[in-house]
Structure 1
Amino acid sequence: MKQHIKIYFDALGLDPYENRQECELTGFVGVVDIHHIQRRGMGGSKKLDRIENLMALNRKDHDYLGEKQHFKSMLFRKHMHFLERNNVKFDKEYMLNQIARYE
């Protein structure tokens, strides 16, 4: 299992083998992709493998939103609210800085 997937499911206390995670945008429950909001790049730095930068998206949204800069602020904002609703510990200052960076 890839490290970023393990980080995501561990933070939420979920079993990654159940394939029943909620898409953070649509609420769709099923198989999702764990998306790097801020991309790591080809074989890039693992420092972006952190819960603040990882969100579950259904395949259609993952393909559509991908690396489009103008969606990043919205993705970080939605992800922050998702983490708060699920009582996940995260670096809120980091999230707010990312939201401001992309607005």
Structure 2
Amino acid sequence: MSFLDRVKPIVDQTITTLASACFETDPIAGEKYSRQTSIISSAYKRHGTILERAMLESLRESNRHKVWREDSFRVSRAADQIIGQQADAALLPYGESLRTLSNRHDGV
């Protein structure tokens, strides 16, 4: 299956969803221009999903990369218990750290 064959379904689904979506009419722009603006605005918001799929499929074609997709981030029971015992306010903001973790194996 070619790159385009793997990416086209998400693009087609996005177009179908946008074409059938209902939007409120802006009284200033009128029905026609209000709908066009809403569709274009919504399409911009969906670019991320399309780009993510395109990058994923492109990297899959590479023999230098191992690519997978994780639709649901897994949280262990231990991590869930630790977080569940603390108030959100007690958590440190991201960036303040004692150490970092890396999954790089190339020594860099």
TM-score by length of 2: 0.26
Max radius of gyration: which structure?
Answer: 2
More helix by share: 2
More strand by share: 1
Larger relative contact order, structure 1 or 2 (CA cutoff 8 Å, min sep 6):
1
TM-score by length of 1: 0.27
